[in-house]
Structure formats: structure tokens, C-alpha cells
Amino acid sequence: MISSSGIMKTFCGRANPTTGALDWVEEGDEYDYHQEIARSCYADMLHDRDRNEKYYQGIRAAVTRVKARGERVIVLDIGTGTGLLSMMAVTAGADYCYAVEVFKPMAEAAACIVKKNGFSDKIKIINKHSTKVTVGPDGDMQEKANILVTELFDTELIGEGALPSYEHAHLHLVQVGCEAVPHRATVYARVVESEQLWSWAQIQPIQVEECTLLPPAAVTRCAGAPSVCDVQLSQVTPSAFANLGPLCSMFSVDFSRPVSSAPHSHSCRFVVEASGRAQVVLSWWDLDMDPSGSIVCSMAPSWTYSDPREYPWRDHWMQSVYFLPAERRVCEGEELSLTVSHDDYSLWYSLSDSDQSDVATPCCTCQAHLLWTRPRFGELNDQRRRECYLSALRSILRPDSVCLSVSDGSLLPVFAHLLGAKKVFSLENSGMSKRVIEQFLEVNSLKNSVQLLEIRPEQLTSGDVEGEQISVLIGEPYFSTSLLPWHSLFFWYCRTALSCLLRPDATVLPSSATLYLIAVEFQDLWRIRAPCGTCEGFDVSPMDEMVQRSLDFRESREAEPHPLWEYPCRALSKPHSVMTFDFQQCVPEQPISSQGTVPLTGRGRCHGVALWMEYSLTDDITVSMGLTEPVNGEGQCVWSPHRKQGVYFLRDPWESSGDGQASMSYNLTFDPNIGDIKTDFSVTRP
């Protein structure tokens, strides 16, 4: 629509994760542009010195080889990003470089950076997908390149479409026999047994009183979700898994030759080194930047290094965890074949007695792997957490209790029935979650013990609950749409919408939620938001400036969701409760505000603030979605692996002396109309 001032306005409908309402958000024409720029993780790559140095070495070596043949050096850089690799190529002696970048904001940033560094006459930025680039007198490129430089890789190597892009480039954009940087990629894998990792893929039997809840056969037989589980594997300690076989070299791709994106399988035979249950495949890859393999950029986790301090941390490339379609007992000395298959965008693994040439793509058939994320599987399997909920339910349930559960795909209503509640109802947010819970009830002979209602809270009537008044309202709370800690306050809005169906003396579990914060120094995560200024001698500050303008365009800095168990940090303050939400009462009409200061008692560089929720199930039982153990004397933080915590990065990190003279000031406001918390933090210096 056009406003009275003549400015074009765009309104986008978005489901609010906290209130559950459909919000119509006004967005200007440049909203998406600034949103993408502000959220880009370019800094992580620019701070990845190991990656940058290896690319630079490989590019210099390739330019030298082409020049030694007496040829003019023409470089094609696909996925140029900031233009860094193109500038490296020109500095190394390339005569001309075509830099391709499909993302318009990044292409504009690259053009600005290239100009600022004085390379505009030798680098042409092409804002297209590489498969749309043309060669010829009137084309994007005047001639085919004899050096192909790319950064098209993700944690799974091929997930960003590297294979189709290489395939097209060799057919249309580069000369036969071109040099490629990187020259080769090799994928490695190892079969392991791991109770921790396997708990991310399958529901284990659950003991409730005298009853053992079994997972449905459809779930245990299911191959699971096809998407890769990318993780900072360095944070999974070697004691959390047992190696059952050697590290296998599964396959290599030579990028200097024509590449095929057609589906293919590769098998590696190995001898089992230890008896156990084959459940999980750990996988990563290496890049050889030159044909000799003397310049290697490795994605191997830190515990593969003789000196872990030499491990080059990066977040744009991690390691992969793949779950076998079913666990298998294996014996020491047994010979097996591990097969990796791929299409043009993804990999998957299988284990058998013989080589397999055609392995079907894994596909979830039980719907549980579509309903629950991997962290959610881990949460449902967490015995200590489960016992907290069972203990709380035992303390509040009575033989005449009428329970209503509000959480996505939760087993709490099943627990309530087994603990003796008179009637149990459960609101399910989708037909999928309803069907998954129905499977659990049916396989455990509990059909009709819980009434599953696929209906929104505000639409629920007395007739839907058989005319009963609810005496116990329960929730974990867990909702699939939640990202930030306070998004789970959707439970509070549900409780408010259900007020007319609750008895005046109804028990609400959890009874309240408290938002906590702690000032932290990150070991590595700070890199993803740190300004770069210069990188390998090139001025990339225009990218920093664009990000800052984008943050200013969005008016306020925001907390970001991160799974902090993967990102070590040290506490520089004590945990501090800043805001409590009373679920015994309805959502208030007026905002809730909280201001104060937290002394910085730890020595280190304060990069920002971590935020999380703790839920009071009863007066003496609390479940934390953040810190799960007290912070020790060294400031070590142990975070829940099941939920993401909120992280607010300071614009200017502050060196704390640890004497308590400096403090973190906070100003938080919860707006009940939009269900969001506006955050503002700063360091008060002595």
C-alpha cells in the first residue's frame, strides 16, 4: 500500500511465536536487504585465518603454475562474498578476475570493497547465479577462465549446491585442464556407538512408576530425518562415544576436472575394531588447495589434533553427525562396508555386510522425526529432566484431577494419566503432533486414556473437555516455533485464553518462569559478530559499515538464539534473575520492566550477555533451560544442550579486571502486546 506521504509500505503476515497471533508487520522495500546483511556470518569467515591463509597459498601456487605455461591468468571466483579471494588472486598476479555473487547485498558490498582496495580495473563483480553467467563478446565474461576459485561449501560439503555449480562451470565457464582452488575435497567418516548422540535420533523406553513406555515400532524402524545434523563436534568429548572402526576415506572430488552432480554411492570396507552397537557416523572433510596435497584445510574436530590449541575454530564449517537407519550389533574382527550416498545437495550413510551400489535416500515415515528436532529428541530422553517433571506431577495430582496439557508433542499428558489423574486432555498444535502421540498411546495400550484435541486454546469450549473444569494445567513448556528463551511464554498466553475453563483454585505447572542473565567472555563465538577492518592485508571495512547501517536500520540490537553448549564461555558475573512471569495470573495489559546492574566479578573480556529461562514447576522443583550446574571458581558454564539460549553481543567488548568495580547495566521491557522483550545492555566503567 502507499502511505499518505507517498512511501510504499509492505505488510507481511507473521505468526508471533510468543503470543500465537498473526502479526501484520510493516516493512519497507529495503527490509529484507538489511535483515540479511545484519544476520550474515561474513565475520566468521573473515576471522578464519587458517582458511584465508590456505586459500591465499593455493591461489598463489595456481597463478604461478599458469604463468609458468606462458598463459594469461584469467580467474573465475564463484561465490565471491566480500571479494577477498578475488583480491588475493589479483595480488598474486592474475591478469583479470570475474567474481560471481548471487546475493545482491553481498555483491554490492564486494564491489565497494574491491573499489576501496584499488582493484576495480582488474575485478568485475557479477551479481548472478553462476549457472546464469554467460561467456562471449556480449556476455558477462569475455573469455573462459583458466583458474577456478570457489567457496561454495557448507558443513556437508555439497549442501550449498557445489556439485551443480562446478558441473556447469566446467561445461561453460572454464577452459579444459583449468587449475582449481581448492583442487580437491575428501570426505571422511567413522562409525561409533554413542548413547548421547543416539538419543538425538530415537526415543528410548521411559520408566513411569511400574510402567515402561515403549516407543512405537514405526519410530524405531524409521530412517529418520534426511537433513544433516551439523554440530561443533569438538564439544562432544571423546568419552561420549566409542570408536567401532577406523577413520574411513569415503570419496574425493577433483575440482580441476569435470564434476557430475548425478546421484552416486561410494563404499569403504573396514574391519570392526571393537564390539558394540553401530549407531552413528561422524563425518568431516578436508580441502587440498593444490594438486600435491601440501596445502590442506581440514575440518577435523579438535580432539583429532595432537595439540588441540592448534585447532582452527570456525562456525561456517563444522562437522556432521549422521544417524544410521537402525542400530546394529557388531563384533570385533567383523568385516563391514560403510556406504555414503549423495544427490546434488546432501549425503547419507548406511552400513552392511557387502558393498551397496544403490542406497535409497532416508525419509521419515513415522512423522516423529519431522515433529521433533534432534535437540528435542535429546530433551525427551533426558532422564534427570524427566524425573523433575514426574516428581512435580506426583506432588500436585489427585485422583479427581482433570488435567489439560499445552505443549507441542509432549509426553506430559501420558505421564499425568499414568500417575493417576482422573481425566487428561492435551492440546496439539497440528495433526502431525496428534498422530505421533496417538502412536505412543496405542503401542502402550493407552488408547483413549488421553483426549487429544487439535484446536487452538482460544477456541476451546467446555464441550471439548466434556463439561469439566480444569483443575491442573500443565506444560513443559515447549513449542516448535520458539527460538529465543521468552518465546515459550506462549504457554502464558494459552493459560490466559483458557482462564474461563480453569477452576478458581486450579494448579498451573510450571507456576512461573524467571529470566536470567550472565555476563560472559566467549572463547570463540565473539568472532561471528566482531568487526574485521582488515583481512589478510585487505581493507574490508565497507562490510563492517554496511552491517552497522543495517543494525541501525532495524532500530535496535537484538538478542540472538545460540546453543551455548557448543560455544564455550566463561562467566564474568554471577547469574542474575531479572524478570519473573507469574503463570498463576493472566498476562498483564501493561509492560513489565526491569532495570539494574550486575557487577563484573570475573577477569576477562566481556563480549556480551547470555539469557535463559528457568521454570518453577513447584515451590521446590525448578528446571533450567540455561545453566544446568553452578558456575565454578574458574567461571566455567555448563549449558543445557536441549534449548538455545539468548545472546546479546556488546558493540564494544570490555576488559573486566574482576574487582567488581565495572558492572553490566541492563534495561529490559516485556511488551505483552507483541510478546517480545526489548533488551539494552551496557558496561558501566569505574
Residue 332 sits in a domain whose CATH number is 2.70.160.11
Q: Are residues 342 and 487 in the same domain?
A: no
Residue 391 C-beta-side C-alpha neighbours within 13 Å: 14
Burial class (CB in 10 A: 0-12, 13-18, 19+), 602: buried
CB within 8 A of 45, min separation 6: which ones?
A: 51, 81, 151, 314, 316
Treating both helix axes as pointing N-terminal to C-terminal, what angle do 84-91 and 49-68 enclose, rounded to 10 degrees?
Answer: 40
Tens digit of each residue's pLDDT (9 = 90 or more) over 534-582? 999 999 988 887 766 655 544 446 899 999 999 999 999 999 999 999 9
Q: Are residues 482 and 415 in the same domain?
A: yes
Burial class (CB in 10 A: 0-12, 13-18, 19+), 24: exposed
Residue 13 reports pLDDT greater than 60: no
Looking at 127, 151, 175, the residue that finishes a domain is: 151
Q: Which of 492, 452, 499 is nearest to 475 (CA)?
A: 492
* pLDDT value of residue 555: 43
Instruction: Say how far residue 394 (Cα) sits from the centre of its chain.
Output: 35
Q: Are residues 323 and 392 in the same domain?
A: no
Q: Is 143 inside a domain boundary?
A: yes
pLDDT band at 227 (very low <50, low <70, confident <90, very high): confident
HEC string for 559-590: CEEECHHHCCEEECCCCEEEEEEECCCCCCCC
* pLDDT value of residue 354: 83
Sheet with 347-352, side-by-side order of all strands: 264-271, 335-342, 347-352
Q: Is 166 inside a domain boundary?
A: no
In eight-state DSSP terms, residue 627 is B
Out of 151, 428, 521, 560, which one is annotated catalytic? Answer: 151
* pLDDT value of residue 2: 42
Kindly report the length of the chain.
686
* pLDDT value of residue 38: 55
pLDDT band at 8 (very low <50, low <70, confident <90, very high): very low
Q: Which of 496, 484, 489, 679 is nearest to 593 (CA)?
A: 679
Helix (H, G, I), strand (E, B) or coil at 517: strand
User: Average pLDDT in the 595-623 region?
Assistant: 97
User: Average pLDDT in the 377-397 region?
Assistant: 97
Q: Is 374 inside a domain boundary?
A: no
Q: Are residues 520 and 645 in the same domain?
A: yes
User: Average pLDDT in the 503-527 region?
Assistant: 97
In eight-state DSSP terms, residue 210 is T
pLDDT band at 3 (very low <50, low <70, confident <90, very high): very low
* pLDDT value of residue 34: 54
Q: Are residues 563 and 630 in the same domain?
A: yes
- Determine contact, residues 318/230, Cβ cutoff 8 Å: yes
Structural domain containing residue 302: 185-363
* pLDDT value of residue 41: 60
| Higher per-residue confidence, 358 vs 573 | 573
Measure the CA–CA gap between 354 and 352, rounded to whole angstroms.
6
Burial class (CB in 10 A: 0-12, 13-18, 19+), 252: middle
Out of 36, 160, 438, 536, which one is annotated catalytic? Answer: 160
Looking at 441, 476, 509, the residue that finishes a domain is: 509
Task: Determine what percent of the chain is predicted with pLDDT higher than 90.
Answer: 84
Q: Are residues 229 and 343 in the same domain?
A: yes
Q: Are residues 84 and 143 in the same domain?
A: yes
Count the domains in the chain.
5
User: Average pLDDT in the 277-290 region?
Assistant: 98
* pLDDT value of residue 5: 40
Q: Is 408 inside a domain boundary?
A: yes
Q: Which of 380, 396, 487 is nearest to 437 (CA)?
A: 380
Measure the CA–CA gap between 368 and 409, rounded to whole angstroms.
9
User: Average pLDDT in the 468-478 region?
Assistant: 97
Please give the C-alpha separations between residue 297 and each of 49, 291, 294, 532, in angstroms, as whole numbers.
Answer: 11, 13, 10, 21
User: Average pLDDT in the 513-536 region?
Assistant: 94
* pLDDT value of residue 133: 98
Measure the CA–CA gap between 389 and 395, rounded to whole angstroms.
10
Pairing of strands 174-181, 145-150: parallel
Tens digit of each residue's pLDDT (9 = 90 or more) over 31-55? 455 555 555 567 888 999 999 999 9
Tens digit of each residue's pLDDT (9 = 90 or more) over 297-324? 999 999 999 999 899 999 999 999 999 9
In eight-state DSSP terms, residue 22 is E
Residue 19 reports pLDDT greater than 90: no
Q: Is 376 inside a domain boundary?
A: no
Looking at 151, 166, 201, the residue that finishes a domain is: 151
Alpha helical stretches, state H, 185-246: 195-198, 217-220
Q: Is 359 inside a domain boundary?
A: yes
442 assigned to active site: no
Q: Are residues 146 and 293 in the same domain?
A: no
Task: Determine what percent of the chain is predicted with pLDDT higher than 70.
Answer: 93
335 assigned to active site: no
Burial class (CB in 10 A: 0-12, 13-18, 19+), 558: middle
* pLDDT value of residue 43: 80
Measure the CA–CA gap between 100 and 139, rounded to whole angstroms.
13
From 124-128, 502-506, 549-553, the region with the lowest mean pLDDT: 549-553
Residue 9 reports pLDDT greater than 70: no
pTM for the model stands at 0.93
Q: Are residues 387 and 502 in the same domain?
A: yes
Measure the CA–CA gap between 474 and 413, rounded to whole angstroms.
8
* pLDDT value of residue 4: 40
Tens digit of each residue's pLDDT (9 = 90 or more) over 621-634? 999 999 999 999 89
User: Average pLDDT in the 101-121 region?
Assistant: 94
Q: Is 4 inside a domain boundary?
A: no
Helix (H, G, I), strand (E, B) or coil at 322: strand
User: Average pLDDT in the 332-344 region?
Assistant: 95
Q: Are residues 350 and 391 in the same domain?
A: no
C-alpha cell at 439: 502412536
Residue 29 reports pLDDT greater than 90: no
Tens digit of each residue's pLDDT (9 = 90 or more) over 193-213? 999 999 999 999 999 999 999
Q: Are residues 298 and 388 in the same domain?
A: no
Q: Is 179 inside a domain boundary?
A: no
Residue 667 reports pLDDT greater than 60: yes
The residues that bridge with 402 in the sheet, in sequence order, are 423
Burial class (CB in 10 A: 0-12, 13-18, 19+), 365: middle
Measure the CA–CA gap between 445 and 546, rounded to whole angstroms.
59
User: Average pLDDT in the 385-407 region?
Assistant: 97
Q: What is the CA radius of gyration of the chain?
A: 28
User: Average pLDDT in the 139-163 region?
Assistant: 96
CB within 8 A of 302, min separation 6: which ones?
A: 234, 308, 311
Domain containing residue 106: CATH number: 3.40.50.150
Residue 228 reports pLDDT greater than 70: yes
HEC string for 582-616: ECCCCCCCCCEEEEEEEECCCEEEEEEEEEEEEEE
* pLDDT value of residue 226: 82
Q: What is the mean pLDDT of the chain?
A: 92
Instruction: Say how far residue 393 (Cα) sits from the centre of its chain.
Output: 32
Q: Are residues 386 and 451 in the same domain?
A: yes
